[in-house]
Copies of this chain bind each other. A is one copy, B any other.
Amino acid sequence: MRTLADIGEREAIRSIQRLVTKGAHDSGIGDDCAALDLGKEYLLVTTDMMTQRTHILPEMTPYQVGWFLVAINLSDLAAKGGTPLGVVLSLGLPRKTSERYLIDLMRGADACVTRFGTTIVGGDTKENPEITLCGTAFGLVKKTEFMPRLGADPGDIVAVTGTLGKAGAGYYALKYGRYQYLAKGLFEPLPRLKEGRILAQRHCVTSSMDISDGLSSSLYQLSEMNHVGFEIDRPAIPITQGITKISKTRKGLDPLEVALQFGGDYELLVTMPEASFEPALKAFRRSGTALTRIGRVTRKREIILINGSWRTTLQNKGYEHFKHHFFS
């Protein structure tokens, strides 16, 4: 009898996709969020589960666990241009969990929702032998402003918000005991809701997703879905200063590698027609967040990293285990 370990999660997810009945009016399958037709708008829904053993580092405070659980769900809404309506949490907790842990976790979750203009509207607590937390976020987006994963065209430019490598910097800061304030980048990601809205309102984005598993993995996912390739300009990639700092103290730690492969940054990766980029950049100024052009969509289905005259195929080593949606 085959087990999930034998077939791997991707095959398991494919067999789920095959057997689940499809809705008549739904869109967004294969996307960051489910998108349900409400007439002029889509209702966006996304869900994520975290488990102590596989998703929660021991250095993470309960406040950060709560923040993270909310943030990763809001990030999926952000990538579709959505405005959050609310979040529900299901908390599976062992009986020996301290009251303090629960309170701090909820404080972190509440801090994150209120920071991003929404609320926790309900939930469920259950006894569980292992801390298992499930967050579901929902939001709205006008159909005309929905930013799908599908739509990248050869010739479009590729851009990312913010900087990459923040989560990796946090991880290595804790690992090496240097610059430990960087852990915030790993444990308290900032969902790019405001930035997603700026892009959505401009109707310029041809495809969009959040970079949860690393830039490399995200590019591979967009490539597969859109049947396109990418040329990425290596010097243009906005690498966070934190990882550059840490790498100076540790031989063999390559900031570029971290920025490309580590994941956990929850920035937005978007494509748009070349003519749209400068106006979008201008609109971004008031947001306080960078928008950086890092490359171009190509017809040929390969992902190339370019540095002057040097060209190499980008490796896909993203953390596959980190996040597995049936439909994304």
Name the contact of A123 in the complex, choosing from B7, B47, B86, B129 (C-beta under 8 A).
B47
A and B contact pairs by CB, cutoff 8 A, 20 listed: A1-B99, A4-B94, A4-B96, A9-B125, A12-B125, A15-B103, A16-B106, A19-B106, A20-B120, A33-B122, A34-B122, A43-B85, A45-B121, A47-B90, A49-B124, A53-B129, A88-B136, A122-B328, A124-B325, A128-B132
Which residues on the B side are within 8 Å of A5 (C-beta)?
A: 95-96
The yes or no answer to A249 lying at the interface (CB within 8 A) is: no
The yes or no answer to A290 lying at the interface (CB within 8 A) is: no
Ranked nearest first, the 9 interchain pairs of A and B with the lowest CB-CB distance are A34-B122, A34-B121, A134-B134, A23-B119, A5-B95, A49-B90, A136-B136, A49-B126, A123-B326
Query: By the criterion CB–CB under 8 Å, are B88 and A47 in contact?
Result: yes
Tell me the complex Cα distance, A132–B53, Å. Answer: 14
Name the contact of A26 in the complex, choosing from B21, B86, B96, B136 (C-beta under 8 A).
B86
Chain B residue nearest to A9 (CB atoms) is: B125
Query: By the criterion CB–CB under 8 Å, are B127 and A130 in contact?
Result: no
Tell me the complex Cα distance, A212–B71, Å. Answer: 32
* A: contact size bracket: 35 or more
Chain B residue nearest to A125 (CB atoms) is: B324
Query: By the criterion CB–CB under 8 Å, are A127 and B86 in contact?
Result: no
With both chains docked as a complex, state the minimum distance between the C-beta of A2 and any C-beta of chain B, in angstroms. Answer: 5
The yes or no answer to A100 lying at the interface (CB within 8 A) is: yes
The yes or no answer to A3 lying at the interface (CB within 8 A) is: yes
Give residues of chain A (70-106) contacting chain B, Cβ–Cβ below 8 Å: 85-86, 88-100, 102-103, 106
The yes or no answer to A282 lying at the interface (CB within 8 A) is: no
Query: By the criterion CB–CB under 8 Å, are A98 and B2 in contact?
Result: yes
Which of A107-115, A144-152, A233-241, A256-264 is found at the contact surface with chain B? A107-115
Query: By the criterion CB–CB under 8 Å, are A4 and B54 in contact?
Result: no
The yes or no answer to A287 lying at the interface (CB within 8 A) is: no
Tell me the complex Cα distance, A136–B87, Å. Answer: 11
Query: By the criterion CB–CB under 8 Å, are B12 and A326 in contact?
Result: no
The yes or no answer to A305 lying at the interface (CB within 8 A) is: no
